């Protein structure tokens, strides 16, 4: 019996060459990383190179637009805290959803859909070892399907 396309482990599709930024980096540095690398999210690591959080475009927009967005649409307490921060740690999401490299592509895809996230970060012993996007999964399944025809 052959392995289903979505039963492969995340390790088979994850990207391991990951651009990160330190938690102590200034917000201006974070903005420059977003501009330079054109990513939607940026993983944050601490001085021990442990994965501690993520900054996404929503967080950046919240910081930029705090004064011009009606307060009813924002969680004002977290928005103001983020707006007042001066480094990556002060604005990051410190509780991103993470997975291990041995879960199936199907499980990873289900988490992405359930939580409306992409990419999802692969962590082992608090270290960031990979990142998987929806596109990575789609490409893996499509490539495998094409090879079997």
How far apart CA 14 and CA 20 sit, in angstroms, is 15
How far, in Å, are 8, 44, 88, 118 from residue 39 at the CA level? 26, 13, 16, 11
Distance CA 149, CA 144 (A): 9
Q: Which of 36-40, 42-46, 137-141 has the highest mean pLDDT?
A: 42-46
Residue range 122-138, pLDDT digits in tens = 999 999 999 999 999 99
pLDDT digits (tens, 9 = 90+) for 81-135: 555 567 999 899 999 999 999 999 999 999 999 999 999 999 999 999 999 999 9
Write out the two tokens for 113: 């859909």
**Among 123, 143, 149, which Cα is nearest to 43's?**
123
Q: Where are the domains of the chain?
A: 5-148
Please name the residue that has the structure tokens 């409306």.
Answer: 116
Between 3.40.190.10, 3.40.50.150, 3.40.50.970, 3.10.580.10, what CATH number should domain 5-148 receive?
3.10.580.10
* Residue 143 reports pLDDT greater than 80: no
pTM for this entry: 0.80
Distance, in Å, from the CA atom of 123 to the CA atom of 128, rounded to the nearest integer, reads 5
Q: What is the mean pLDDT of residues 11-32?
A: 92
């Amino acid at each position: 019996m052959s392995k289903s396309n979505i039963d492969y482990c995340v390790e088979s599709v994850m990207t391991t060459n990951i651009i990160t930024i330190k938690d102590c980096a200034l917000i201006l540095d974070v903005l420059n990383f977003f501009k330079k690398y054109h990513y939607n999210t940026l993983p944050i690591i601490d001085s021990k190179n442990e994965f501690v959080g993520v900054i996404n475009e929503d967080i950046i927009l919240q910081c930029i637009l705090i004064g011009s967005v009606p307060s009813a649409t924002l969680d004002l307490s977290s928005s103001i805290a983020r707006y007042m921060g001066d480094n990556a740690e002060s604005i990051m999401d410190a509780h991103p959803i993470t997975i291990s490299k041995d879960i199936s592509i199907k499980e990873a895809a289900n988490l992405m859909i359930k939580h409306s996230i992409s990419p999802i970060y692969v962590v082992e012993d608090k270290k960031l070892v990979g990142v998987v996007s929806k596109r990575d999964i789609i490409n893996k399944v499509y490539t495998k399907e094409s090879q079997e025809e």
